[in-house]
Amino acid sequence: MASIPVDEHTTIDQLTADPYPIYRRMRAESPVTRVESVRRILLTKAAETKYVKDTPAIFSSDDPNTPMEPAFQAHTLMRKDGPEHLRERMAMAKAYSPKVINSDWGPLYRQIVSEYLDRLPKDEVVDLYAELCAPVAARILAHILGVPEASDEEMIRWSQRLIDGAGNFGWRPEPFARSDEANAEMNVLFDSLQARHRAEPNPSAFSIMINADDPIPMSQVYANIKIAIGGGINEPRDALATIVYGLLTNPDQFEEVKRQQCWDLAFEEGVRWVAPIQASSRLVLEDVEIRGIEIPKGETVMTIQASANRDEELYEDGENYNVFRKKTPHQAFGSGPHHCQGMHVSRLTVGAIMLPMLFERFPNMTLPDPDAVKWHGFGFRGPLSMPVRLS
């Protein structure tokens, strides 16, 4: 077996600015590569990323070298396996079930989207990312989690600080200092909400967890809510902005999507093209061979679903946004026991509600300057702004 190729040149800043050319080169030249700056072995082909996610007996989520634990000040369910992971995951599973989302939350989601759309001016250039994508995602999530007392600004700030900390693979002190501040603010709010949720049980995640017949410890209730805040804003926020960009820079597709009303296809292609959650770490529990390369027990591999979603073996012209490409499963929501619990929420809120309502209100929206849209992120990725003209 061959030894692990080592990349000493690729920096985290390069991966943050634009990882896709790097991943394309890795897929072609060295799909299994140790990247020194990230301190992990990157896996960039779809077959391997899925194999790792689907094989927790060999690839554990309990990575002791992850920045997630200091970022969330907890050993979260994202870093647990087996019965321990399942118990915490199932503690709030009911709040994320398709039935509850549609019956209990669907009408509220539509009301929220309508109210935020009403605030947008017509025939002006507006940063859709700041004015709609982020605040709507924050407001919807605040309700489903049971923390509607948190403002949009607080939810957005907490989410960004948590994911910046969780993605701090360079272990720089500043992101952890900011995530510490966010944790302290969230703890104060959560402490104040316990009495209300006990007195008035409801279908929110917070209420479901603390009123369960066999509740998980309160520290893990808090950790679960924080995990959901960390991932539950950036995923729908970045997915919506990405899809808007993809449609407005491909006007022929945009017109056909409106004609067919196939917003679900536009959604799936958007999260394939730029996966909001780009990478995940796993601890190797036993010596294993991947593509003829020996990976020793104790190493940490990183599945790059951002790269897997553009793998040439699965996707023709995968670097481009194409709503009408041959339907092929993607890995934007992961796979295996840790697949994204918010998948149904994202598909409903973005694909079935936000996209059609947005373009029904502004069917002639344009993107005046595509080059003004700046993309950012290694562990989590999306545009930092989306200046569109609403009409």
Residue 383 falls within a domain, yes or no?
Answer: yes
pLDDT of residue 26: 98
pTM above 0.85, yes or no: yes
Helix axes 152-166, 134-145, angle to 10 degrees: 90
Tokens 């989207």, residue located: 113
User: CB count, 10 Å around CB of 51?
Assistant: 18
- Per-residue pLDDT, 344: 77
The rounded mean pLDDT for the chain is: 93
Question: pLDDT tens digits for 138-157?
Answer: 999 999 999 999 999 999 99
Mean of pLDDT values over 208-220: 93
What average pLDDT does range 68-86 have in this prediction?
A: 83
Please tell me the predicted confidence (pLDDT) of residue 336: 75
Listed in sequence order, the residues at least 6 apart from 346 whose beta carbon sits closer than 8 Å to its beta carbon are 235, 236, 239, 267, 271, 333, 340
Question: In this predicted model, what pLDDT tens digit does every residue of 281-296 receive, in sequence order?
Answer: 999 999 999 999 999 9
Condensed to tens digits (0 to 9), the pLDDT of residues 100-115 reads: 777 778 889 999 999 9
Q: How many domains is the chain partitioned into structurally?
A: 1
Would you state the pLDDT for residue 123? 85
**Averaged pLDDT, 227-249:** 94
CATH of residue 66's domain is 1.10.630.10
Residue 338 has pLDDT above 70, yes or no: no
With respect to residue 341, please indicate whether it lies within any of the assigned structural domains: yes
In a domain, 1, yes or no: no
- Which residue stretches of the chain are H helix? 12-17, 20-29, 46-53, 68-72, 82-91, 98-100, 106-118, 128, 134-145, 152-166, 173-199, 205-210, 218-248, 251-260, 263-273, 305-308, 343-346, 355-361
| 78 belongs to a structural domain | yes
pLDDT of res. 62: 87
Structural domain span for residue 333: 6-389
pLDDT of residue 335: 82
Residue listed under structure tokens 């209420």: 207
